Amino acid sequence: MTKDLPIQCACGAVRGVARDVAPSAGNHVVCYCADCQAFARFLGRDADILDEHGGTAIFQLSQAKLAISAGADRIACMRLSSSGMLRWYASCCNTPIGNTLSTTNLPFIGLITTCLLKSPPGASLDADLGPVLARGSRKSAQGDSTTIPRDGMPLPLLAIRFVRLVLTWRLRRDGRRSEFFNPHSGQAIVTPRVLSDAERAQLR
């Protein structure tokens, strides 16, 4: 059974919904890569976003399933480098939304679960998103990485699952129903801020 999950930034200016969410509709993962950690520090929200090992909880789903109902004018975007992922957030309070590629040809978003409203606050999302399938980039984790849980799916199998999902979304032309890209030009709705080498190094 699918479920619509409300999305809201910390101050409430940006609101929306992730539609038709179910464990089979995406991938619940945790990423420990240096870039995801740098994004959290850029926002000044690392204490809210990162777990004790520097991991960011993400649910990979189709961009077409994410709808913004309020505060679209507050949505901002940054890139850690000129070739990096587009990292979307609410500029009003620096709440992260998610990560996309710079093209709608592969129309997924790595929705950062910090923006999902939990009821009650602090509740686990596993019932809606499914358990964490994998934890990536362990070499960049903070502290003793041997204490990080070994979750269910080997990364090669997760990659196959991800490709199947993205190909389905591409065939459905979900990229044309994205909140983050113009459906006619395929361009991002805002110009991303690209960090300089010095800015990026400071965040790492």
Report strand pairing: 134-136 vs 56-62: unpaired
pTM metric for this prediction: 0.93
Q: Give the start-end residues of each E strand in 27-120.
A: 27-31, 56-62, 66-70, 75-79, 86-90, 95-100, 108-112
Say how far apart CA 164 and CA 199 lie, in whole Å.
36
* pLDDT value of residue 120: 65
The residue extents of the domains of the chain are: 3-197
pLDDT at 41: 97
pLDDT mean values, one per 10 residues, the chain (204 residues): 92 96 95 96 95 96 97 97 96 97 94 86 82 91 87 84 95 94 92 94 88
CB distance 17 to 7 below 8 Å:
yes
CA gyration radius for the chain? 16
Predicted pLDDT of residue 191: 95
Q: Residue with structure tokens 């040809």?
A: 105
Contact assessment for residue 102 and residue 188, using Cβ atoms and an 8 Å cutoff: yes
Burial of residue 47 (CB within 10 Å: 0-12, 13-18, 19+) is: exposed
Pairing label, strands 56-62, 75-79 = unpaired
CA distance between the termini of the chain: 40
Task: Give the dihedral of Cα atoms 191, 7, 113, 85; nearest 10 deg.
Answer: -10
> Coil, helix or strand for 23?
helix
pLDDT for residue 127 = 87
The pLDDT value recorded for residue 121 is 66
pLDDT at 22: 94
Q: Tell me which of 1.20.140.10, 2.170.150.70, 1.10.760.10, 1.10.10.10 is the CATH number of domain 3-197.
A: 2.170.150.70
Q: Which amino acid is at 24?
A: S
